[in-house]
Chains A and B, each alone.
Chain A
Amino acid sequence: MPETRKPTPVKAPLLEVRDLKTWFPIKRGLFSITDGYVRAVDGISFVLDRNETLGLVGESGCGKTTLGRTLLGLEQATAGDIVFDGVSIPTLGRRQMNRLRRHIQVVFQDPLSSLNPRMNVMDIVTEGLVQFGMVEGSKQEHAARLLGEVGMNRDAIYRWPHEFSGGQRQRISIARALSLKPDLIICDEAVSALDVSVQAQVINLFLKLQKDHRLSYLFISHDLSVVSNIADRVAVMYLGQIVEFGNTADIVRNPLHPYTRALIAAVPVAGGKHIASDAVRGEPPSPASPPEGCRFHPRCPEVMPVCRHTAPNVMEKDGHQVMCHLYSQA
């Protein structure tokens, strides 16, 4: 988010996102006339260092996947800049972007549609290695090793994507992302189809790879418990913007934004009390015409008059940032 953020990196960060916007035109009528925009990503800035994991949480439809896809050059940024390792991504041509792919990998939210149905698992997980001429020894061995890392058997290598369960497909796509030892992995709900034990295994693997190779992750997930175990810092998104940003400990222990508080309160806990269904009240707002003032105000339990007409600025204290009028007077 914030222009107020003053990072003091010794070296340049791995990824820097500046006031990024990705809008989708809404086409209407016979002649597909553009009639407004879905402001999926609407002014986002952050910095991600090497060896760092940024967790990204937020309401369904708030723009998390679109942000990830824009970083990968799969959606065209409407405005703003993305600098990866000193290179501005929106200016890259297709060939250059393909070369960069070795360094940025992704695990997509929907594994089924991201795995080529006409390739067997061995070819899928070694595709990148082949493309960049990194196969030493046999493809079988590479594939079996990568699958082993995500807890799958080597007898999977000659089978096809549709022959697997949801969680197995997700792991195939994780194995593929790991194959190139990239600098950055964008994980979009990457462990959400895994049972908790396999999930733990995969997260432990992510942590280990980070230790060994100084990887960075952008870890998008709806599961705050998972995020809190893997992220150094957490960004909370609401309707195209980051509304709170801070160290994981700060976000978990001392959530400031009313939306973040609602998110934490609504995590179902085995053995715990039942969750109130109205943790966040009211209709989710339209990303095509976001509410005036603070975008969360129509649903905020602590709404004040000022929230209805003035958008809050970013407040910062000790690296913990929040965009909320509750904190502007102090």
Chain B
Amino acid sequence: MIAPLIDIQHLSVRFDTDEGSFHAVDDVSFSIGRGESVGLVGESGCGKSVTALGITRLIPSPPGHISSGRILFDNMDLLLQKPAVLRQVRGAAISMIFQEPLSALSPLHRIGRQMVEGIRFHRDVSNKEAWAYAREWLSKVGLPDAEERMYAYPFQLSGGMQQRIMIAMALMLSPSLVIADEPTTALDVTTQAQIFSLIREMKQNDTSLLLITHDMGVVWEMCDRVSVMYASRIVESGSRQDVFNRPAHPYTTGLLAAIPRLSVDKTRLQAIPGQVPSPFDYPRGCHFQDRCEHVFDVCRENTPELRSVGEGHFAACFLYRGEDARNA
């Protein structure tokens, strides 16, 4: 097998806050091949964004730190690199579309200037060239009046426009890995379709994608494989067909049942009963135990590991471990 572009091994991230310490990401492993796109889905607060920030080494510290793991990117362990190297990697080789655009854009500077700085940090081009290039990208992400918008401050733009500026900034330097954290939450579906065709084009040139989203339709549309996270751990992973058509983990099953569909009247939607545990007191054993209809005694004692439930399809659940493991 050829080496994947990025291989995340046993990544754990801890936060030490005034209220106590907890693992926001616990022993997470997955890899992404060249030109491949992997979706990361899961309950709000389960650790998706923190995983992404871990990969790009942007965890706010304190209170957070990576407590263990390796992140092999192009044969280099990102966790061992100096800040100067990481700055080069970020933006050029790995770029990130942040979940909240306003947290990543400077409120005090015009869009054009921010984009030009980003380009010139990584590329040896003139101001004028960078400006033209940035402008071209604003049109590519479907912003009307691109030249005009170069002079705008972020607050003068709609939520979806800010999001598309983030997208342009992330894609414009042709990175080999794009990490997109809820990139289209503010986009109407037709604009979204346009963005996706841009990303697909880049995939043709072997750009890889880690797509964090709660929109299952988007995962289906964009991803080759999917990992499902629940309360700091990956509980299932597999091809998009396996995960959607043959979900193995009870959490995944519940999640898929909650997808809203076009409806002609007001209808109560199906939610997974119960509430995700607080990260400060995740239970011993499986984190989903209190909401699971199948729960066994062993689930309250031991942590299920990801095990194969089909070719290339993995689940961390004692349902698939046979009587012996369950009674052990």
A-side residues, CB < 8 A to B, are 24, 26, 53, 57-61, 64-66, 109-113, 151, 153, 155, 158-159, 162-168, 171, 189, 192-201, 203-204, 207, 222-226, 228-232, 248-249, 252-253, 262-264, 266-272, 274-280, 283-288
Closest to A171 in B: B44
Mark out the residues of chain B between 249 and 297 whose CB falls within 8 Å of any chain A CB in the assembled complex: 254-256, 258-272, 275-278, 280
Across-interface contacts of A197 in B (CB, < 8 A): 43, 254-255, 258, 271-272
Across-interface contacts of B219 in A (CB, < 8 A): 270
Across-interface contacts of A165 in B (CB, < 8 A): 44-45, 48-50
Across-interface contacts of A58 in B (CB, < 8 A): 188
Is the Cβ of A271 less than 8 Å from the Cβ of B264? no
Is the Cβ of A268 less than 8 Å from the Cβ of B215? yes
- What's the nearest-Cβ distance from chain A to residue B40, in Å? 11
Across-interface contacts of B160 in A (CB, < 8 A): 60-61, 222
Cα A223 to Cα B6 with chains together (Å): 32
Is the Cβ of B190 less than 8 Å from the Cβ of A279? yes
Across-interface contacts of B44 in A (CB, < 8 A): 165-168, 171, 193-195, 198
Across-interface contacts of A230 in B (CB, < 8 A): 266
- What's the nearest-Cβ distance from chain A to residue B235, in Å? 13
Is the Cβ of A60 less than 8 Å from the Cβ of B193? no
Across-interface contacts of A285 in B (CB, < 8 A): 144
- What's the nearest-Cβ distance from chain B to residue A26, in Å? 7
Is the Cβ of A200 less than 8 Å from the Cβ of B145? no
Stretch from B98-106, B120-128, B168-176 forming part of the interface with A: B98-106
Across-interface contacts of B258 in A (CB, < 8 A): 196-197, 199-200
- What's the nearest-Cβ distance from chain B to residue A226, in Å? 5
Is the Cβ of B270 less than 8 Å from the Cβ of A166? no
Between A and B, 13 residue pairs with Cβ closer than 8 Å are A53-B266, A155-B280, A162-B60, A165-B49, A166-B49, A167-B44, A197-B258, A201-B271, A222-B188, A231-B266, A248-B266, A253-B264, A267-B262
- The answer to whether the Cβ of B323 comes within 8 Å of any Cβ in the partner chain is no
Closest to B195 in A: A277
Cα A239 to Cα B48 with chains together (Å): 35
Across-interface contacts of A59 in B (CB, < 8 A): 188, 190-191
Mark out the residues of chain B between 46 and 82 whose CB falls within 8 Å of any chain A CB in the assembled complex: 48-50, 60, 63
Tally of chain B residues near chain A (CB < 8 A): 80
Closest to B229 in A: A195
Additional A-B contact list (8), CB under 8 Å, known A222-B185, A269-B261: A24-B156, A60-B161, A194-B44, A204-B271, A263-B188, A267-B189, A268-B218, A269-B220
Across-interface contacts of B101 in A (CB, < 8 A): 110
Closest to B49 in A: A165
Cα A274 to Cα B240 with chains together (Å): 13
Cα A182 to Cα B35 with chains together (Å): 50
Closest to A202 in B: B271
Across-interface contacts of A223 in B (CB, < 8 A): 215, 260
Across-interface contacts of B164 in A (CB, < 8 A): 60
Cα A277 to Cα B191 with chains together (Å): 9
Cα A226 to Cα B259 with chains together (Å): 9
Is the Cβ of A264 less than 8 Å from the Cβ of B262? yes
- The answer to whether the Cβ of B159 comes within 8 Å of any Cβ in the partner chain is yes
- The answer to whether the Cβ of B91 comes within 8 Å of any Cβ in the partner chain is no
Of the listed residues B145, B215, B260, B268, the one surrounded by the most CB atoms of chain A closer than 10 A to its CB is B260
Cα A288 to Cα B262 with chains together (Å): 33
Contact partner of A249 (CB less than 8 A), chosen from B19, B139, B142, B264, is B264
Closest to B64 in A: A163
Is the Cβ of A166 less than 8 Å from the Cβ of B182? yes
Known: A204-B269, A288-B148. Is A196-B193 also a contact (CB below 8 A)? no
Is the Cβ of B264 less than 8 Å from the Cβ of A263? no
- What's the nearest-Cβ distance from chain B to residue A119, in Å? 15
Across-interface contacts of A60 in B (CB, < 8 A): 158-161, 163-164, 186-188, 191
Is the Cβ of B100 less than 8 Å from the Cβ of A158? no
Closest to B268 in A: A204
Cα A279 to Cα B193 with chains together (Å): 8
Across-interface contacts of A226 in B (CB, < 8 A): 260
Cα A204 to Cα B17 with chains together (Å): 33
Of the listed residues B143, B148, B217, the one surrounded by the most CB atoms of chain A closer than 10 A to its CB is B217
Known: A199-B260, A268-B215, A270-B259. Is A276-B193 also a contact (CB below 8 A)? yes
- The answer to whether the Cβ of B42 comes within 8 Å of any Cβ in the partner chain is yes
Across-interface contacts of A207 in B (CB, < 8 A): 266, 268
Contact partner of A284 (CB less than 8 A), chosen from B142, B221, B265, is B142
